[in-house]
């Protein structure tokens, strides 16, 4: 089916998330003749989104906390936008957009929905009793709201969760993340310098930031000569955000460096020798796809999402989540063996080219749109 003259509306919480993950897909929808509307909270990246020739609608939504009146008002505001735009497809990305967007789409009668499960988020990894209660509520709501929609998941674990909610198997699509630009994230020769271990992520406790710092301390205590760098900024909208004060304290202690957010990540990877993400749970982390595309070996955790990218002992090492000692041991193996780092980096690059290139992912999602519209 041709996609000309159809309108797709993307609802994503933050403009930085649109730019970090979804611009290629938005561009792909434009390339096949779709009109595209992006609804997101705008901060610093509006011009970049508008540069694709799409309509941008600024939208205020909080990812943190729950105020019944505010949330109800948010849903009504979203429904008003849907009524005005009348898209053929609404594409919701991540938890709140899926919940609120699906409800708004039902209220207005939007014919086709695509809901992208970009990981299960803080709510599904938190041990907090309140979070566990809310998790049960969210599961029930998802089971109702996602029924009859097309659901995209990034890993087989999330595929099983969505299936167990009662969503028909024929409506669940496995798409291996947002893809990576393999020409931009290109291999480079390992620098001849003190080994640099990079953790590229938002500064959240459930990204394993604490375990990374603990592992760095252990390695330094054993006389390992390496630099350990946190690249990313806190996310105050996320309950798991690491306070700036804590990041500064670690930096002043001299155990790790904190570089903050970097726009030029290919250059960061080019400086690195190892990329590390000791996350508790992911959808499919784009930072690890980028690292593998740059031919860098990876140390990550044996959890949903992360194990989709790393084949243990082949292009990196998998360790158990929340285990700083196991993390330190895996990093030590790579820090001591430059030939192993190069070999694993090359294997990671081959894996990305085969399974995770941006072109493959965009084509797969456009085909899902065609199926939805048929």
Q: Spell out the per-residue pLDDT of the chain, length 374, in tens.
A: 455 679 999 999 999 999 999 999 999 999 999 999 999 999 889 999 999 999 999 999 876 656 667 888 999 999 999 999 999 999 999 989 999 999 999 999 999 999 999 876 555 555 666 556 667 777 888 889 999 999 999 999 999 989 999 999 999 999 999 999 999 999 999 999 999 999 999 999 999 999 999 999 999 999 999 999 999 999 988 889 999 999 999 999 999 999 999 989 999 999 999 999 999 999 899 999 999 999 999 999 999 999 999 999 999 999 999 999 999 999 999 999 999 999 999 999 999 999 999 999 999 999 999 999 98
Backbone angles phi, psi at 172, to 5 degrees: -105, 125
Of 204, 261, 253, nearest to 228 by C-alpha is 253
Rounded Cα gap, residues 330 and 321, in angstroms = 13
Q: Domain extents for the chain? A: 7-179+357-373, 196-355
Does the fold of domain 196-355 match that of domain 7-179+357-373? yes
- The backbone region for 110, taken as left when phi is positive above 0, alpha when psi lies in -120 to 50, beta otherwise, is beta
**Within 10 Å of residue 327's Cβ, how many Cβ atoms?**
27
Fold category of 7-179+357-373 in CATH: Rossmann fold (3.40.50)
Specify the pTM.
0.88
Please tell me the predicted confidence (pLDDT) of residue 2. 55
Please tell me the predicted confidence (pLDDT) of residue 70. 81
Please tell me the predicted confidence (pLDDT) of residue 5. 79
Please tell me the predicted confidence (pLDDT) of residue 326. 98
Lookup: tokens for 269: 């990877």
The helices-and-strands tally (H runs, E runs) of the chain is 14, 13
CA 225, distance to chain mean position in Å, is 31
Helices 324-335 and 209-221 pack at an angle, to 10 degrees, of 60
Class of domain 196-355: alpha beta
Backbone angles phi, psi at 290, to 5 degrees: -65, -45
């Amino acid at each position: 089916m041709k996609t000309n003259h159809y309108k797709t509306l993307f609802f994503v919480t933050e403009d930085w998330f649109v730019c970090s993950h979804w611009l290629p897909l938005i561009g792909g929808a434009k390339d096949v003749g779709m009109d595209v509307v992006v609804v997101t909270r705008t901060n610093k990246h509006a011009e970049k989104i508008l540069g694709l020739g799409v309509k941008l609608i600024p939208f205020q939504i909080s990812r943190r906390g729950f105020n019944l009146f505010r949330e109800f008002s948010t849903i009504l505001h979203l429904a008003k936008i849907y009524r005005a735009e009348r898209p053929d497809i609404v594409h919701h990305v991540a938890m709140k957009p899926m919940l609120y967007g699906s409800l708004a789409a039902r209220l207005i009668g939007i014919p086709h929905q695509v809901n992208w499960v970009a990981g299960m988020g803080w709510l599904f990894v938190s041990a907090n009793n309140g979070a566990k209660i809310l998790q049960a509520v969210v599961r029930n709501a998802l089971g109702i709201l996602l029924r009859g929609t097309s659901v995209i998941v990034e890993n087989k674990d999330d595929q099983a969760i969505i299936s167990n909610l009662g969503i028909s198997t024929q409506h669940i699509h496995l798409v291996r993340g947002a893809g990576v630009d393999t020409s931009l994230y290109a291999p480079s020769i390992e620098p001849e310098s003190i080994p640099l271990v990079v953790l590229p992520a938002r500064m959240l406790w459930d990204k394993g930031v604490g375990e990374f710092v603990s592992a760095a301390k252990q390695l330094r205590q054993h006389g390992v000569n390496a630099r350990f760098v946190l690249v990313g900024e806190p996310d105050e909208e996320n309950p798991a955000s690491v306070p700036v004060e804590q990041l500064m304290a670690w930096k002043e202690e001299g155990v790790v460096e904190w570089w903050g957010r970097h726009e030029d990540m290919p250059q960061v990877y080019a400086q690195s020798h190892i990329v590390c993400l000791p996350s508790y749970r992911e959808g499919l982390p784009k930072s690890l796809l980028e690292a593998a595309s740059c031919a860098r070996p990876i140390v990550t955790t044996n959890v949903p999402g992360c194990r989709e990218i790393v084949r243990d002992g082949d292009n990196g090492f998998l360790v158990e989540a929340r285990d700083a000692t196991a993390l330190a041991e895996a990093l030590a193996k790579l820090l001591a063996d430059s030939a192993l780092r190069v070999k694993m980096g090359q294997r990671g690059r081959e894996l990305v080219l085969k399974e995770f290139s941006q072109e493959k992912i965009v084509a797969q999602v456009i085909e899902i749109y065609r199926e939805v519209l048929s």
